[in-house]
Homo-oligomer: A and B are copies of this chain.
Amino acid sequence: MFNKVCIIGCGLIGSSLARAIKENNLAKKVVSSNRSDYVNKKVIELKIVDDSGSDTKKMVKNSDLVVIATPLSSYASIISKIKDTLKDGSILTDVGSVKENTTNLIEKNLPNNISWIPSHPIAGTEESGPESGFSKLFQNRWCILTPSKKSKKKDINLLKIFWEKAGSKVDIMNTKKHDHILSITSHMPHLIAYNIVKTSLSIQKKQKSEIIKYSAGGLRDFTRIAASNPIMWRDIFIHNKKNTSEMIDKFIENLEDLKKAIESEDNQKLEKIFKKTKIIRKDIIQAGQDVKKPDFGRT
């Protein structure tokens, strides 16, 4: 599909995409740029890319597709570095989890001859780094494109096909809607997981070993989510702070309501709430977003 693809940032997502490109023959050449020399060496050693180096300008040169796969806070400096080196008529995309402000930022700072088409593959694990990536990460997962004013129609279509060939199902929506829906389905769940682990840790310094011992009662599953990349998630919450704050307020309001029902022993109300939340599980399984396989003792 492309002659040369450059991935900036070979972490979990970037290295998985490089692997998927190679496996599905989506480019003749895949290169990457990473700040760390260790990573640049590692991705060549693992044959994830054909070339890699810390000089981003040099790596980006002549690429038909450039993918930013670094934390959101690095976008501004990357753009100022590469904007005059990007190939005429090439496509620039990213894999970030928040869209509105980064889409606008890049839109303003990019030459007109570049198609800037933000992507968000909804895929990942709690692990980080190039060693943790794998080519099937995007298989059957959604990838959302949020076109900018600088997205050419034919390129949107090309990028859509690219993600589909990498295994994704593709949806297109505007940045505002993306940031709102993702704050519900992804950002809030992660923040809550971080907060529950933070809360357990703060209470029980003395009883830490007991908390770990009995974590299979539920806490365990939250610690998995709360083990996700700290820098990436810090940036996500800050970049989507308006939606995140709103969600926190609504979450607390609902929790206070549950607390009242518990304290007043309102059996009926609690039962009604817990029965409702059970139903959505069935819908998710029907939609193919999870499997109906109970999760038990994973040791």
Residues of A with Cβ closer than 8 Å to B?
73, 122-127, 132, 134, 136-137, 139-142, 144, 171, 181-182, 184-204, 207-228, 230-231, 233-234, 237-238, 241, 244-245, 247-248, 250-252, 254-256, 258-259, 262-263, 265, 267, 270-271, 273-278, 280-281, 283-284, 287-291, 293-299
**A144: which B residues are within 8 A, CB to CB?**
214
Asked if residues B263 and A215 are in contact (CB atoms below 8 Å), the reply is no
Asked if residues B299 and A288 are in contact (CB atoms below 8 Å), the reply is yes
Q: Pick the residue among B122, B223, B244 that contacts A262 (CB under 8 A).
A: B244
Q: Pick the residue among B241, B248, B289, B296 that contacts A220 (CB under 8 A).
A: B289
Contact of A221 with B225 at beta-carbon distance under 8 Å, contacts A234-B267, A254-B199 already known: yes
**A124: which B residues are within 8 A, CB to CB?**
296
Contact of A281 with B223 at beta-carbon distance under 8 Å, contacts A230-B271, A241-B262 already known: yes
**A190: which B residues are within 8 A, CB to CB?**
218
Asked if residues A259 and B248 are in contact (CB atoms below 8 Å), the reply is yes
* Closest residue on chain B to residue A123 by CB atoms: B297
* Closest residue on chain B to residue A298 by CB atoms: B291
| Residue from the set A124, A275, A296 with the largest chain B CB neighbour count within 10 Å | A296
Number of copies: 2
Q: Pick the residue among B132, B221, B276 that contacts A189 (CB under 8 A).
A: B221
Asked if residues A201 and B277 are in contact (CB atoms below 8 Å), the reply is yes
* Closest residue on chain B to residue A138 by CB atoms: B297
Q: Pick the residue among B201, B254, B276 that contacts A195 (CB under 8 A).
A: B254
Asked if residues B274 and A199 are in contact (CB atoms below 8 Å), the reply is no
CB distance from A109 to the nearest CB of B (A): 21
Asked if residues B255 and A126 are in contact (CB atoms below 8 Å), the reply is no
Asked if residues A230 and B196 are in contact (CB atoms below 8 Å), the reply is no
Asked if residues B142 and A216 are in contact (CB atoms below 8 Å), the reply is yes
CB distance from A233 to the nearest CB of B (A): 6
Asked if residues A212 and B287 are in contact (CB atoms below 8 Å), the reply is yes
Contact of A290 with B224 at beta-carbon distance under 8 Å, contacts A237-B270, A262-B245, A275-B230 already known: yes
Q: Which 3 A-B pairs have the closest CB atoms?
A: A186-B217, A189-B218, A125-B294
Distance in angstroms between the alpha carbons of A217 and B171 in the assembled complex: 15
| Residue from the set A126, A225, A295 with the largest chain B CB neighbour count within 10 Å | A295
CB distance from A42 to the nearest CB of B (A): 18
Asked if residues A230 and B274 are in contact (CB atoms below 8 Å), the reply is yes
CB distance from A69 to the nearest CB of B (A): 17
Asked if residues A200 and B185 are in contact (CB atoms below 8 Å), the reply is yes
Distance in angstroms between the alpha carbons of A267 and B239 in the assembled complex: 11
Asked if residues B262 and A216 are in contact (CB atoms below 8 Å), the reply is no
Asked if residues B142 and A214 are in contact (CB atoms below 8 Å), the reply is yes
Contact of A277 with B194 at beta-carbon distance under 8 Å, contacts A181-B207, A241-B265, A248-B255 already known: yes
Distance in angstroms between the alpha carbons of A142 and B297 in the assembled complex: 10
Asked if residues B297 and A189 are in contact (CB atoms below 8 Å), the reply is no
